Amino acid sequence: MSHDNSKPLMRFLLLFSRQGKLRLQKWFTPMSDREKKKIIRDMTTMVLARQPRSCNFLHWKDLKIIYKRYASLYFCLAIESQENELLALEVIHRYVELLDKYFGNVCELDIIFNFEKAYFILDEFLMGGEIQETSKQVVNRCIESSDMLQETMEEYMSKPAF
């Protein structure tokens, strides 16, 4: 049951294409650039080498890697090894649902061309390596946010344009 206390349960999330091109990276613990590069390389080779119909979990060092392919894009999430793998799979799925709703039938190109939006959605969904949000809260926040946005708009309008 014990786990490294100073680390969140999720460690990183990577999105990459079938060709191994990185589309999105999110690191929940501090990591050096070299470590990041190594992880990205390891993940793409490991995940892409998997046979179809094998299970969606992998071991990597002391972490579990949960991956799932959606069309041409692989989602790959690293979690503590005692964590619940199925739950992690649903975290990925939830994120895909959010992307899908936002872009409307999301495809890899949407994420390539609008990667910053994909990051924003992710930041609202996960915070500091934990789920911030399950369903209703997205709702609430967004309704609230559009309220807030109006405030913003007002402020925006009242400011001199650059």
Partner 1 sequence: MSDVVEKTLTALPSLLSLDSQPGSAKLSSTSKLGNLIRGITELTSKHEEEKLIQRELASIKEQVSSPNTSMRQMKELMVRAIYCESLGYEASFSYIHAIKLAQQGTVLEKRVGYLAVSLFLNESHELLLLLVNTVLKDLQSTNLIEVCMALTVVSQMFPKDMIPAILPLVEEKLNHPKEIIRRKAVLALYKFYLIAPNQVQHIHNKFRKALCDKDPGVMTASLHIYLQMIQENPEGYKDLTASFVTILKQVVGGKLPMDFNYHSVPAPWLQIQLLRILSLLGKNDQSTSEIMYEVLDESLRRAEMNHNITYAILYECVKCIYTIHPKSDLLEKAAKCIGNFVLSPKINLKYLGLKALTYVVQQDPKLALQHQMTIIECLDHPDLIIKRETLELLFRITNAQNVTVIVEKMLEFLHSNTDDYTTIDLVGKVAELAEKYAPGNEWFIETMNTVFSVGGDMMQPDIPNSFLKLLSEGFDTVEEDRKLRLFAVDSYVSLLQGEPGKLPQRFLQVISWVLGEYSHLREELEPATVMRLLAKLLDMKQTSSETKSWVLLAMTKLVRAGQVFQSAQEVSETYGSSMDTVLRQRAQELQHLSQDCELRARVLPQDAGLEPLEVDSSLSFLDGFVSEALAAGAAPYKPPHQRQEELAQAKALSLEPYGLSLPISMSSCSIADRQSPTLLSMSSGLSGDSTDLSHKGSSTTLKLDGVKRVWGREGYLAQREAVEEAAQVEVPSPLRSPSQQAEADSSHSQTPTPTPTPEPDQEKQQLASSLFFGLSSQSSVCLMGKSEPTPQRFRRKAKGQASSSGAAEQISNSLVSAPSAVDNFLCNNLLDSNITSQVGISSSEQTSELSQGPATTNGTCDTEAESTDGDIKGSNPSLIIGDNGLVAADPTPHKDPGSPKDFCLSSHLPAELSELCRSEITPLCSNQSLGLSACHVHKEDSLVLVVFITNSSDAAIRQILLDLDSEQLQVSCVSDSPVEDVTSHSVAMHQFSLTVKRPSVHVEVVGMVSYQLPVGTPQEVQFSYKLPLTSFIRPLTVSTEEYGTMWLSFSHDTKQNLTLISDGEEPLTATLNVLKEKLQLHIVEIIGMEGIIACQLLRDQPCLMHCRVHADVLAVWLRSPVPDLPDCLIYHCQRALQEH
Instruction: Restricting to residues 64-103, name those near partner 1 by CB under 8 A.
Output: 84-87, 89-90, 93-94, 98, 101-103
Q: If binding is defined by CB under 8 A, does position 41 make contact with partner 1?
A: no
CA pair distance 12, 79, nearest whole angstrom: 8
User: Shortest Cβ distance from residue 18 to partner 1 (Å)?
Assistant: 14
Kindly state the number of chain residues that form the binding site for partner 1, as judged by CB under 8 A.
77
Nearer to partner 1, 72 or 145 (CB): 145
Q: If binding is defined by CB under 8 A, does position 52 make contact with partner 1?
A: no
Restricted to residues 1-30, the positions that interact with partner 1 (CB under 8 A) are: 1-2, 5-8, 22, 25, 27, 30
CA pair distance 43, 137, nearest whole angstrom: 32
User: Shortest Cβ distance from residue 119 to partner 1 (Å)?
Assistant: 6
In the list 17, 48, 69, 117, the residue contacting partner 1 (rule: CB under 8 A) is 117
Cα of 72 vs its chain's centroid, Å: 16
CA pair distance 32, 144, nearest whole angstrom: 37
**CB neighbour list of residue 3: distance below 8 Å, 6 or more residues apart:** 9, 80, 82
User: Shortest Cβ distance from residue 69 to partner 1 (Å)?
Assistant: 14
Q: If binding is defined by CB under 8 A, does position 34 make contact with partner 1?
A: no
> Reading across the β-sheet that carries 73-80, which strands appear in turn?
22-27, 10-17, 73-80, 63-70, 57-60
C-alpha torsion sign, points 86, 89, 93, 95: positive
